[in-house]
Structure 1
């Protein structure tokens, strides 16, 4: 992973499967990496961060090697519990944004639940209701 925008195909594939089940979500290139949006709002962003090169994310995640980072939104009552330990951390921006190191053995079922919640938080009510 030589560039911050590089995200392994396996990670993108899993995220595509999850996001395909969310009404009207769309994938697009972000300033770095890839993001999925509901209308004009980003509910998940994934990229590769490198220690010492990515300022706020590198420091927040305490990186020692290139690492795939995913950010998403969380409800206030879930935020504190999530950011209390690995692989999660408080993202460098936003009051409701969680950062997650996407490490080997990631639980994609859990990721799916977290991203569905992020989607519901940002989607119009009629679309949010369609997500179980």
Structure 2
């Protein structure tokens, strides 16, 4: 079983500036791993799972997983694209991804910004600089 401090420090080092750069967000230990929240809503949660302890993704070694909120239409497209994305079965608006050496941190920034904007009060979400549609 994993311990609360099991997330690799380099992953936390990449996630902290993304999550804590969002208005009024904060970090706290989760039941396992670390999570970032706006008010009492979880924007992102990262943890490491051992083989046999991940329900929605098949892993054969300890694996770092990141979950966050996303609009249902985006979830379908990302899950259909395959690795690193997967769909946890416990919420229709939560998306998961494997964090590994191939992680696209620009994409993570966009996804976590979207997660924040879905959960934050409108006043705070309006303060966030979000990428516009491609020209």
- TM-score where L is the length of structure 2: 0.90
For the 8 Å contact 2:20–2:27, the answer to whether it is kept is no
Deviations 1:31-67 (A, max 9, x none): 0000000000001000001111x2xxx2311111110
Task: Please list, as runs of the form range in 1=range in 2, the aligned pairs for 1:90-101 lying within 5 A after superposition.
Answer: 90-101=87-98
In structure 1, distance between residues paired with 2:46 and 2:109: 14
In structure 2, distance between residues paired with 1:30 and 1:51: 20
Structure 2 equivalent of residue 64 of structure 1: 60
For the 8 Å contact 1:7–1:68, the answer to whether it is kept is yes
In structure 2, distance between residues paired with 1:18 and 1:51: 28
Structure 1's unaligned 5+ residue stretches are none
Which runs of structure 1 show a deviation greater than 2 angstroms over 4 or more consecutive aligned residues?
A: 2-5
Aligned residues: 127
Aligned to 2:55, what secondary structure does the other structure show? helix
- CA RMSD after TM alignment: 1.2
Q: Is it true that 1:127 corresponds to 2:132 in the alignment?
A: no
- TM-score where L is the length of structure 1: 0.92
Structure 2's unaligned 5+ residue stretches are 130-135
